[in-house]
Each structure stands twice: as C-alpha cells, then as structure tokens.
Amino acid sequence: MSQNVFRVIVDKWPTPDGMPFDEQDIDWCERPDWMPETAPLDEWYRSGGHHYQDGRDMGPGWEETIAPSWRHWKWWSKSSAYKRVRELKLYGVKAHIETGTVNWK
C-alpha cells in the first residue's frame, strides 16, 4: 500500500535577509515596510507575561506579538498543504507543494 505525502517548500520569504519571520529581530507590533498590506498581523499570537533578561516581569497587560514559525511542512492531506500555501501567500511568501509517495510494507 502507498500513500502520498505533501510538503510545502518556501521559495522566498519577503524579509530583507530572506530568513523566516520568526528569525527577524524586529518589533512585530508594527507592520514592517516589506510586509504586504494583506497580511493579517492581528491574527498572530500575542503573548503576555514577558520578562526582562534579568528575569523581572514587565508587568500585567504587557503583550508581545510573536511571529509564527510555520515549521510544520509535511501533511498527509493535500488540502492542508494548500491551505498553508494560501496562508503564506497572504504574507508575501512564495511557496509551492511537492508530492512524494510513501510505501507501506
């Protein structure tokens, strides 16, 4: 028996250095110049309870916008892989899908 696996390949990140969003050293509370206006940044995860480097709490109500890592790139479902590509395109990422076959013995 065999089954297909679908892998999302990122061809180009829209960042100036070409690295993923979660590897950028920027404040995500504001939209960067290179980020498309179609990108729904308000849907990104917001964390609270951030601490200074020395361990002190920054206080209640303080939030930080965290860029998603999007590190899961393989799916058994073709529709899930296409959904991820559509999500990435909203943020200006160029990506495509490769299909592979897994043979089960």
Which 3-state string (H, E, C) describes 41-97?
HHHCCEEECCECCCCCECCCCCEEECCCCCCCCEECCHHHHHHHHHHHHHCCCEEEE
33 Cβ partners below 8 Å, 6+ apart?
A: none
pLDDT given at position 69:
67
The predicted structure's pLDDT at residue 65: 62
List the structure tokens of 95: 């990506």
- Which tens digits make up the pLDDT trace of 12-71? 999 899 988 878 887 776 788 888 888 887 766 555 555 555 555 555 555 556 666 676
Burial class from Cβ neighbours inside 10 Å (0-12, 13-18, 19+) for residue 21 reads buried
For the whole model, what pTM was predicted? 0.71
pLDDT tens by residue, 81-95: 999 899 889 889 999
